[in-house]
A and B are shown apart, each in its own frame.
Chain A
């Protein structure tokens, strides 16, 4: 570990903390449906869009209606993308003349992008036409991100409203988030990427002769624009197979920092928005503090392990940290930090190969996802997932101080506990259940590249990544098979929508409750104690379940490495 390494990590957190409030304020304006400076330019677009589609943005929806509209919208997009992928051979903007995508790959990919996962069982530059990338996939980068934020807004309204029957209008939320947040930010960030050397063209590829005299084809495309939303919307689906490790996606140390910041930007801002929505910004800071503590702990472990390197290689004379699978221009600190950011935030973009991390270095990204992507988490999804844990934490805390628990003025009762447990149980059920199926079936066992506990980690990582809607891959797993495409597709769908529906039900129930003012007898949910309790509950409820699987995967792998055995 070096001073520069730690400086990068501290600077990264400091910049985020500075950005938290302004971003949160902007999001709050959208949450409230207030006017922003951008309305001057984009306001007519918004109203024009409403008029065109016959939507009344002021028409409020109850949670069931909000959920149904959200599901119909996502299902429609899913079918749309599936059709484009299957038919890409017959569609325009296909300069390299790719054929239609196979049934199972199209199924997997369509779900993957709809569910804000961006798991990629394919290499982008060798499978997808420009039309597929821009219309079939990039559209989800915006809309799945906007869906996540809209759902977070809906839950915030549940906490903030009193004796209300509605939690907002899905279409208005979607429109405002896309128009006033995602699009303008992406334009700005894309311009910065272009300036940094990221390609932005509709041309297919260029042929070059390298210094060694070899002919090489360099794939090109509209990379900068996809890169911006890939990070901002915690999508993570790269234009190239190598994702952010590819020099065209992520050319410099500065683009690397901006990529990491843009992954966390909205997730961090939403914690502030939550606090503001419930009338006490300290509530938001308390949540952010809990998330950041978990994040920092994870980063420290990964950085420490990666910097320490592999003792077996040390004996062979290869001193220093673990550089296998890392880009030299980023180095150990930036790669470690990136891996924790991308897995903490359900992004899934990678600038290094997690499969090549040391065992414990690879355990943290895995564990981040198993916690349910609540450490900052995916845009919107992170905070609503975290609030589910907060409901359980406040329930236990409330009992311990002798009161029916209440959180930000809302009583947490049997219904909330039931739904929160239901949503939280989805994760272990699908992750462990599907991993179990894959570890005993022939089709499943055909996937992993490595043997022993490392191969098990590869399977576990894939299903964890899918259910948690992260989308990062441990590599090493041959996933483009009917078995894995199918299983992972189902896992991604369940991991997204089987959590959302109970979450919206909680939002609806909370909105209908009356407000209970806090007294000295109610437990203060804005202090250090609360932050500590949140961390404890996330680790115990979210983490303990996975201990046996981690023991058989990364931990066994790590111990074997210490004992001089590599897998």
Chain B
């Protein structure tokens, strides 16, 4: 996260190339992708030609200014898109830079012989050797070996991570560096199809696919354009009835101010900037559709560990049983944990020392450590024939059959239940076949997570905690964290089933995951965020990849998706609301020769008809660059219910859109008069 260099919006190195691109984007083939701006360009072209041949009684200087402002309207639109692209490209370029000149050691057959080839020559299925100090040449999967890899180039996190064959940590990303050992990597993408490449394509306007919502909005804008074409196109006939004519230049001015040029000019910039914000956030989306879907999410599936609770459980209490004393239990727990390097083990040692004043610093000489195995699920220590065991309650009882029927066992079981109900995990401690008591390992819910879930609830999003814990423990943690629901003892199949069920109910589901067994659920979810540390299968199945591998980010991704849609909505409303003032500027100016009485509609008191028309068209053009920062940054998004949110946005962009042009046009009119432009 820390990596993102927050480029300010208007630095010279972004603006200068954007200006060049703005002109390049006047190419009709590209302009036609945006029908409203295309219409504007056609009208501008027409007027430019009329400038030379037309005879309509209008002053040439006035017409020339109209033509210039019309072209500027188009250029401001292409500039906005170019600027957004420039920012996105700059972002992507820093990711891409390392990748460009990579060479790969492609293995021939099975032996160690390899040939050096450029990374661009690699194809899916090739196996490359990556040794200490090498950059990984392509996205792929480790097929042999284990290595520590520095992924700072893409995540900004300098601590190396382990990548190894098999298991859930086998995926590697191009551009990251192996800092110890060597691995063999099977290439999983062809050049140009890696995550970075896809991301870069999403921020480049020309190749960008329009998202479903963008298509719908474009249709609405085209519809409005057609409606206003009809409204303006019929005016000459009406004017002829009234015994006059309206110059084409003035009709053109009315048309361009009425059609929704503002939103149309900024539409693709908004989309690009939305993707770009995600990249800055270190999340790569595979499609714009996924980002939009994130805004629509109804249900969030969150893994307990690492998302809701801090990854490691902490020992918080010792509970002796069978009349054992606290010092005996705490000392035994300490001894059993001294060699245990897991966070839980360390937390037991810390608890014993800090709260119970145990001072034993290390195991006596000759002590034999009993390692944890998946079979016994018990660890401990054998000190001169005295065996201390520590492990899951069931396992410890199983290992000590003679203790199972004692009163201490009954007490232990009761305490076990208590701990589970309180959201903790119990560990039993036994010494030489005798039960000593339990250790209360507590899941620590992340600070502030409850409030986050509260916000999500206000936004209408339900949170479901996924955990392998038993239902009792899960319920307690769920209550503490404030999630709406939980799925306990969850298997990957359960997860998939839950997603399907929610989707059948018409809800959109988001989840994150990293393991290969998460892949089906990631693919099924509407928004699947794969952790970058996860397997290649998981990264392929999800539609976003989080480079920081921080599952909490899912919540922010939802916010970004909503912000993208809201920015479009706000600017559309603003654009359409603007039309009222423009009508009041142009209609009296246009018709005053036919019916002088219509002068009373000139409520802004604009100086002259020419000045009114010019002011409206200047406002219409200038509002585009003025709104570029908003389009690129996105409107402010605060998590709240839809009702208040709409009320707020309507007040700002609807009402603002009604009022702003009245003021703006009046001011421009004063300036136009002051400068003597007409």
Residues of A within 8 A of B (CB): 392, 395-404, 409, 412-414, 417-418, 421-422, 424-425, 428-429, 432-433, 435-437, 439-440, 445, 452-453, 455-456, 459, 514-517, 519-524, 527, 529, 533, 536, 540-541, 544-549, 551-552, 555-556, 559-560, 562-563
List of A residues within 8 angstroms of B224 by Cβ: 421, 541
Q: What are the interface flags for B227-243 relative to A under an 8 Å C-beta threshold, 1 for contact and 0 otherwise?
A: 11011111111111110
Residue of B nearest to A440 (CB): B237
- Flag the segment in B76-84, B134-142, B641-649 that touches A: B641-649
The contact sample of 21 A-B pairs, CB cut-off 8 A, is A396-B569, A399-B565, A399-B568, A401-B642, A402-B569, A403-B565, A425-B223, A435-B237, A436-B236, A452-B242, A456-B242, A515-B506, A517-B506, A517-B507, A521-B460, A529-B643, A540-B577, A541-B227, A545-B227, A551-B598, A562-B597
The answer to whether B580 touches A404, judged by C-beta atoms less than 8 angstroms apart, is no
Contacts known (A396-B573, A533-B650, A545-B228); A436 close to B237, Cβ less than 8 A:
yes
Interface segment, one of B212-220, B410-418, B530-538: B212-220
Nearest B-chain residue to A548, judged by Cβ: B235
Given that A435-B234, A551-B587 are contacting pairs, would A396 and B572 also be in contact in the complex, using a CB cutoff of 8 Å?
yes
Query: Does residue B457 face the partner (Cβ distance < 8 Å to A)?
Result: yes
Stretch at the interface among B16-24, B27-35, B290-298, B475-483: B290-298
Whether A453 pairs with B506 at a CB distance below 8 angstroms is: no
A433 to B231, CA, bound (A): 9
Whether B238 contacts A399 by the Cβ 8 Å rule is no
Instruction: Closest A residue to B595 by CB, please name it.
Output: A556
How far does the Cβ of B362 sit from chain A's closest Cβ, in whole Å? 56
Residues of B within 8 A of A540 (CB): 576-577, 579-580
**Nearest 3 interchain pairs by C-beta:** A399-B569, A521-B460, A402-B562
Closest-CB distance, A430 to chain B (whole angstroms): 9
Given A402-B565, A437-B237, A520-B458, answer yes or no on A409-B506 (Cβ-Cβ < 8 Å): yes
The chain B residue with its CB closest to the CB of A455 is B241
CA distance A545 to B223 in the complex (A): 12
- Please give me the residue from chain A that is nearest to B565 by CB atom: A402
With A432-B230, A544-B583, A559-B598 already in contact, the answer to whether A516 and B507 are too (CB < 8 A) is yes
Q: State how many angstroms separate the Cβ of A266 from the closest Cβ of chain B.
A: 30
- B653 sits at the interface (CB 8 A): yes
A555 to B602, CA, bound (A): 13
Contacts of A541 in B (CB 8 A): 224, 227, 576
List of B residues within 8 angstroms of A400 by Cβ: 566, 569-570, 573, 645-646, 649-650, 653
Within 8 A of A (CB), among B576-619: 576-577, 579-580, 583, 587, 590-591, 594-595, 597-598, 600-601
In chain B, what residue has the closest Cβ to A432?
B234
Interface of A is mostly: helix
Q: Are the C-beta atoms of B506 and A399 separated by less than 8 Å?
A: no
A105 to chain B, nearest CB (A): 26
Judging by beta carbons under 8 Å apart, are A523 and B227 in contact? no
Chain B residue numbers with a CB within 8 Å of A520 are: 457-460, 641-642
Q: Are A456 and B646 in contact (CB under 8 A)?
A: no
Known interface pairs A399-B569, A418-B219, A559-B597; A529-B650 also in contact (CB < 8 Å): yes
B97 within 8 A of A: no
Task: Say whether B380 faces chain A, with CB atoms less than 8 Å apart.
Answer: no
Contact indicator A440/B241 (Cβ below 8 Å): yes
The reply on B561 being an interface residue by CB < 8 A is: yes
Q: Are A552 and B594 in contact (CB under 8 A)?
A: yes
How many whole Å from A423's CB to the nearest CB in chain B? 10
Min CB distance, A565 to chain B, in Å? Answer: 8
Interchain nearest-CB distance for A391 vs B (Å): 10
Chain B residues whose CB sits within 8 angstroms of the CB of A516 once the complex forms: 298, 506-507
Q: What separation, in Å, do the CA atoms of A396 and B219 have in the docked complex?
A: 13
CB atoms of A546 and B231 under 8 A apart: yes
CB distance from A108 to the nearest CB of B (A): 22
Given contacts A422-B223, A428-B230, A521-B459, 20 further A-B contacts (CB under 8 A): A396-B569, A399-B568, A401-B562, A402-B295, A402-B645, A403-B642, A413-B216, A414-B216, A428-B227, A436-B233, A439-B240, A459-B241, A519-B461, A540-B579, A545-B227, A547-B583, A548-B235, A548-B238, A549-B238, A556-B598
> Do A403 and B562 contact each other (CB < 8 Å), given the known contacts A522-B460, A544-B583?
yes
Is B563 a contact of A413 with CB atoms below 8 Å? no
Contacts of B345 in A (CB 8 A): none
In the complex, which residue of chain B has the Cβ closest to the Cβ of A542? B227
Across the A-B interface, how many residue pairs have beta carbons closer than 8 Å? 218
| CB of A426 to closest CB in B, whole Å | 10
Query: Complex: how many Å from CA A453 to CA B595?
Result: 9
B630 contact set on A, CB distance < 8 A? none
Contact residues in B for A401 (Cβ distance below 8 Å): 562, 566, 569, 642, 645-646, 649
Closest to A459 in B: B241
Known: A436-B237, A520-B642, A521-B459. A559 touches B650 (CB 8 A): no
Residue B205 lies at the interface, judged by CB distance under 8 Å to chain A? no
Which residue of chain B has the shortest Cβ distance to A421 in the bound complex? B223
User: B241's closest neighbor in chain A, by CB?
Assistant: A439
Q: On chain B, which size bracket covers the interface?
A: 35 or more
Closest to B559 in A: A402
Give the contacting residue for B212; candidates A414, A522, A545; CB below 8 A. Answer: A414
> With an 8 A cutoff between CB atoms, is B676 at the interface?
no
Which residues of A have CB within 8 Å of B597?
556, 559-560, 562-563
Bound complex: CA A187 to CA B650 (Å): 49
Which of A403, A548, A549, A562 is close to B296, meaning CB atoms less than 8 Å apart?
A: A403
Q: Is the CB of B601 within 8 A of A555?
A: yes
A418 to chain B, nearest CB (A): 5
Contact yes or no, A402 B561, CB < 8 A: yes
Determine if A544 and B595 form an interchain contact, defined as CB atoms under 8 angstroms apart: no
A57 to B403, CA, bound (A): 76
Assess whether A524 is in contact with B642, with CB atoms less than 8 Å apart. yes
With beta carbons under 8 angstroms apart, the residue of A398, A428, A533 that contacts B231 is A428
Task: From B231, B504, B562, name the one whose CB has the most chain A CB atoms within 10 angstroms.
Answer: B231
Q: Does B46 contact A (CB under 8 A)?
A: no
Residue B515 at the A interface, CB < 8 A?
no
In the complex, how many angstroms separate the beta carbon of A47 from the nearest chain B beta carbon? 38
CA–CA, A552 to B231, complex, Å?
13
Chain B residue contacts of A517, Cβ below 8 A: 298, 505-507
Q: Does A435 lie within 8 Å of B238, measured CB to CB? A: yes
Query: What residue in chain A is nearest B239 (Cβ atoms)?
Result: A552
* Other-chain residue from A456, A551, A562 in contact with B241 (beta carbon distance below 8 A): A456
Q: Is B226 an interface residue (CB 8 A)?
A: yes
**Contact in complex: B460, A519 (CB < 8 Å):** yes
A552 & B242 in contact (Cβ 8 Å cutoff): yes
Which residue of chain A lies nearest to B599 when distances are taken between CB atoms in the complex?
A: A559
Q: How far is the CA of A516 from the CA of B292 in the complex (A)?
A: 16
Contacting residue for B642 out of A409, A418, A453, A521, CB 8 A:
A521
B563 lies within 8 A of A555 (CB): no
Contact B238–A439 (Cβ < 8 Å): yes
Contact A523 B642 (CB under 8 A): yes
> B356 contacts which chain A residues (CB < 8 A)?
none
Provide the B641-666 mask, 1 if CB < 8 A to any CB of A, else 0: 11101110110011000000000000
Residue of chain A at shortest CB distance from B590? A548
CA gap between A395 and B565 in the complex, in Å: 11
For residue B10, which residues in chain A have a CB less than 8 angstroms away from its CB? none
> B598 touching A398 by the CB < 8 A rule?
no
Q: Which listed residue (B217, B563, B583, B654) contacts A402, Cβ 8 A?
A: B563
Residues of B within 8 A of A452 (CB): 242
Which residues does chain A contribute within 8 Å of B217, judged by CB atoms? Answer: 395, 399, 417
A448–chain B nearest beta-carbon distance, Å: 9
Chain B residues positioned under 8 Å from A548 (CB to CB): 231-232, 234-235, 238, 587, 590-591
Considering only CB atoms, which chain A residue lies closest to B217 in the complex? A399
Q: Are B650 and A429 in contact (CB under 8 A)?
A: no
Answer whether A414 and B215 are a contact pair too, CB < 8 Å, given A402-B561, A556-B597.
yes
- Alpha-carbon distance between A395 and B242 when the two chains are bound, in angstroms: 39
Q: Within 8 Å CB of A549, what residues of B? A: 231, 234, 238
| Least Cβ–Cβ distance between B242 and chain A, in angstroms | 6
Report chain A residues within 8 Å CB of B646: 397, 400-401, 523, 529, 533
